[in-house]
Amino acid sequence: MSWFIFALIATLGWGCADLFYKMGTDETDKHSHLKIAVWVGLVMGIVALILLPFSESGFNVKSLVINALKYTPASLAYIISMVVGYAGLRYLEVSIISPIQNASGAFSMIAMMIFFLITGTINDDLGDFSILNIIGTVIIIAGVVALAIVENRLSRKEANEVAKSDDEKKKNRKYQFGALALLFPIIYCLFDTIGTAADGIILDEETGLGLGEIDVLILYGLTFLLAGIVCYIYMLIKTKKAYNPFALKELRTKGSAACFEEFGQIFYVFAMASKPMLAAPMIASYCIVSVILSRIFLKEKLKASQYACVIAVIVGIVILGINEGLGEME
């Protein structure tokens, strides 16, 4: 399978995860984001333990510790970004938060380009950029960034509206922090940029830090499992009540979100190992899937400017797909 197929599957997987994250978020529950983290940690931890015997660096504690230290910057950045993102879902719609968060795809590509330039390995990666790849990537980045700007403006406008009735006050409760609520996706974007760039560098064999795809899945999964356990213990101490992640409602929403998250993560890792500078901005466009699904299932309304951004990103992905298909025919 080519990097494009891997990236496309990851995009669809994470787009579906966003939908279930929102469905599993309780705006009145201040521990809602921690409960999601527990479920993600559980699913990722199980997959990591299943993959442990297949570790590419050897099935021993010493190699596991050494590789864990290598992967710490990426795993910590990802966990921070994701938990912050879960918290932001309590105050913002999916169609608002996802595009702003995923502007990180463009920033991470720039960060990787700078690193590869400094280390003298930039020529190997620039060889991946044909004319169609450049056009498609630029359109995707422009579409995602434009959508983030549009959503930013819409959110600020919504936050500044004055409620004229009790019903409107209740409806706008999620915007109680006003423009400050946008700090959640902005912080997510910052840490996700660090994590994605670190992934591209760590998975790249030319850097000397190269880790195998299976090892990255194991390390990230075990790290998130630990984070999930910490979240569970914290809630137990604060609420004096054990959280039951296997309640039917939790299983259908948070459990489904965690499964889609891990599904996307698996294909993301293989895409990034193959073509990190092309895969990063394309996978970041999963916010388009989130926006479309939120419109269909959560009835979040979209404006003409949002539809224009969605169409632009889809066109960019189609161009990348055409280029990949032409490359395989040669």
Task: Give 163-231 as a DSSP string.
Answer: P-SHHHHHHTGGGTTGGGGGHHHHHHHHHHHHHHHHHHHHH-GGGS----HHHHHHHHHHHHHHHHHHH
What gap in Å lies between CA 323 and CA 172, rounded to an integer?
45
212-269 pLDDT per residue, tens: 889 899 999 999 999 999 999 999 999 999 999 999 999 999 999 999 999 999 999 9
Owner of token pair 């003409």: 304
Would you state the pLDDT for residue 122? 63
Closest CA to 13 of 251, 192, 277, 266: 266
Domain region containing 60: 3-329
11-50 pLDDT per residue, tens: 999 999 999 998 998 888 989 999 999 999 999 999 999 9
Quick one: average pLDDT of 294-317? 86
Would you state the pLDDT for residue 81? 92
Task: Give 114-181 as a DSSP string.
Answer: HHHHHHT-HHHHHTT--HHHHHHHHHHHHHHHHHHHHHHHHHHHHHHPPP-SHHHHHHTGGGTTGGGG
Would you state the pLDDT for residue 179? 54
For residues 26, 27, 31, 34, the Cα torsion angle rounded to the nearest 10 degrees is 70
Would you state the pLDDT for residue 162? 42
185 or 5, which is more confident:
5
CA 212 to chain centre: 20
Q: How many residues does the chain have?
A: 330
State the Rg of the chain over Cα. Answer: 20
104: confidence class by pLDDT, cuts 50, 70, 90:
confident
For residues 217, 220, 221, 222, the Cα torsion angle rounded to the nearest 10 degrees is 120
- What is the total count of domains within the chain? 1
Q: Is the pLDDT of residue 158 over 80?
A: no
310: its two tokens: 């969605």
